């Protein structure tokens, strides 16, 4: 009885299906009509319906299984997407002046905790760096980084005086996998001093471990300034 819109594009189908889910016409758990049926309703090819439904599945709105069909997810797993830009670009895009300073650089044997985290053997050599990223001369991010020199030997010949390790690594070393962890940490005395904060200030902290096809490349702790907020729309 439904007067289907003619020549619907896959986006229109997506929107329409989403609307029906939102309007509770198809409540959570409902088994949706098959692709052929929907294709008839929307007056389009099955491939077009397939694309619409596939994208809805990718976005976590519906579940699809061969033979079983398509169901509206009961607990829709909305997923937030954060783009992780270069800190320099983030500062510059905010209309501020970016400045970078390295405060420490040392080749050393990997400490125990790092060996565990990166699965390094106990005598592995790493390059330890500490640096600060400024926005308009006020400290914006403190970066503590360890680079696995056996995976990235050419890092040893880079001074990191002019370019930050994060930016250098992105430009010189691709990666296949990364683990990213966000948490809130209190500023230690050292970090507070470097970032012109009071000791114990709450800092949004990102920890990042990066691999290049199973070889551990680098581990970094990024401490953001108190004022920093990470925002996304979903």
Q: Per CB under 7 A, does 83 bind DNA?
A: no
Residue pair 233/158 in contact (Cβ under 8 Å)? The answer is: no
For 151, the token pair is 């995976």
**Closest distance of CB 41 from DNA, Å:** 12
Instruction: Return d(Cα 216, Cα 18) in angstroms, integer.
Output: 42
Contacts 24+ apart (CB under 8 A), 122-126: 124/148, 124/149, 124/150, 125/149, 125/150
Give strand pairing partners of 13: none
25 vs 4: CA distance, rounded Å: 15
The number of residues making up the chain comes to 234
44's contact among DNA, its own copies, none, with CB below 5 to 8 A by partner kind, is DNA
Check binding of 138 to DNA (CB under 7 A): no
Among 11, 43, 69, 76, binds its own copies (CB under 8 A): 76
| 36 touches, from DNA, its own copies, none (C-beta below 5 to 8 Å by class) | DNA
User: Is residue 10 within 8 Å of 56, Cβ to Cβ?
Assistant: no
Positions 158 through 187 that interact with its own copies (CB under 8 A): 170-171, 174, 176-186
Per rule CB under 8 A, is residue 232 in the interface with its own copies?
yes
Q: Which partner from the list DNA, its own copies, none does 34 bind, CB cut-off 5 to 8 Å by kind? A: DNA
Selection from its own copies, DNA, none that 182 binds (CB < 5 to 8 A by kind) is its own copies
Residues forming the site for its own copies (CB under 8 A): 21-22, 24, 28, 60, 75-86, 89, 170-171, 174, 176-186, 200-205, 224, 226, 228-234
């Amino acid at each position: 009885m439904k007067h289907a819109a003619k020549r619907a594009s896959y986006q229109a189908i997506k929107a329409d299906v989403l609307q029906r889910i939102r309007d509770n016409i198809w409540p959570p758990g409902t088994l949706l009509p098959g692709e052929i049926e929907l294709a008839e309703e929307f007056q389009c090819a099955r491939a077009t319906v397939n694309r619409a439904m596939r994208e809805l599945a990718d976005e976590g709105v519906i579940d699809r299984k061969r033979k079983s069909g398509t169901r509206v997810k009961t607990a829709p797993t909305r997923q937030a997407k954060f783009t992780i830009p270069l800190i320099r670009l983030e500062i510059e895009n905010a209309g501020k002046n970016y400045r970078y300073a390295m405060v420490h650089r040392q080749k050393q044997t990997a400490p125990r905790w790092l060996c565990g985290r990166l699965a390094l053997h106990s005598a592995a050599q790493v390059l330890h760096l500490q640096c600060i990223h400024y926005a308009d001369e006020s400290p914006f991010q403190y970066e503590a980084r360890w680079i696995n020199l056996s995976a990235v030997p050419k890092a040893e010949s880079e001074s990191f005086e002019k370019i930050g390790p994060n930016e250098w690594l992105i430009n010189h070393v691709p990666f296949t996998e990364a683990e990213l962890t966000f948490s809130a940490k209190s500023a230690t005395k050292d970090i507070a001093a470097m970032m012109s904060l009071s000791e114990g200030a709450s800092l949004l902290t990102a920890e990042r471990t990066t691999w290049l096809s199973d070889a551990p490349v680098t581990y970094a702790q990024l401490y953001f300034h108190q004022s920093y907020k990470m925002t996304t729309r979903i």
